[in-house]
Amino acid sequence: MLDTHARKYVQPSIDRTASYFLNRGRTANQITVVALLIGVSTSFLYVWGLPILAVVMLWLSGFLDAVDGTMARHTKTSPFGTVMDVTFDRIVEIGMIVAIAYVHPEVLWPLLLLSVSIIVSMTIFLVVGTVSEKAGMKSFYYQAGAAERTEGFIFFSIMLLFPDFLWWSTMAFFAIELFTGGQRFLEAKKILS
């Protein structure tokens, strides 16, 4: 929801950063890889007991993830770039879940439920994006929902910074992801029938 409705407020800084990298000969795919490496570092930082730095790196990776897409749209989008982007986003999320499970095995079941809800929601998102004839500014139809990447980062930040509320924040994240999956499924029925 925030990615869809609040993006206009951060887009100017995304545009400036994209222009900076493009003017220095960087490609969108290079920035995608950098965003992945920074995002994965979040998991290690959390395991090493550095949750604040982990959250900072998580948001930096998310910012660069937005920058790479803007760079691609200012040059030429590539199908493989889209595959990298979506895949690397999931790797960062999986890394976060595994790191939290390692540090807090007492919330293994809520984290498993969260993983399932992310899989279901992303499956619907990707299949609708693939089979839909609608096209947006991205390389496939982007199906908005209650929980998009920014909401995920907010929940992960809460989970990392407030371990006393980990069970509750994980279950809230699970519920919003499940709701988003249902929301996207119902939208798919409307646009694909």
Query: What are the pLDDT digits (tens) for 122-152?
Result: 998 888 888 876 655 555 566 677 778 889 9
Tokens 């992303």 sit on residue: 122
Predicted TM-score of the model (pTM) = 0.89
**Lowest-pLDDT range of 14-23, 39-48, 133-142, 177-186:** 133-142
Cβ count near 12 (within 10 Å): 9
Q: What is the 3-state secondary structure (H, E, C) of the chain?
A: CHHHHCHHHHHHHHHHHHHHHHHCCCCHHHHHHHHHHHHHHHHHHHHCCCHHHHHHHHHHHHHHHHHHHHHHHHCCCCHHHHHHHHHHHHHHHHHHHHHHHHHCHHHHHHHHHHHHHHHHHHHHHHHHHHHCCCCCCCCCCCCCCCCCHHHHHHHHHHHHHCHHHHHHHHHHHHHHHHHHHHHHHHHHHHHHC
Q: Say whether domain 2-192 belongs to CATH 1.10.3720.10.
A: no
Separation CA 147–CA 118 (nearest Å): 10
From 151, 145, 159, select the one nearest 99 (Cα to Cα): 159
Separation CA 136–CA 79 (nearest Å): 15
C-alpha 120, offset from chain centre: 15
Domain extents in the chain = 2-192
From 63, 89, 102, select the one nearest 142 (Cα to Cα): 89
What's at 183, amino acid-wise? Q
Q: Are the C-beta atoms of residues 119 and 106 closer than 8 Å to each other?
A: no
Percent of the chain residues topping a pLDDT of 70: 91
Q: Give residue 163's pLDDT.
A: 96
Confidence of residue 165 (pLDDT cuts 50, 70, 90): very high
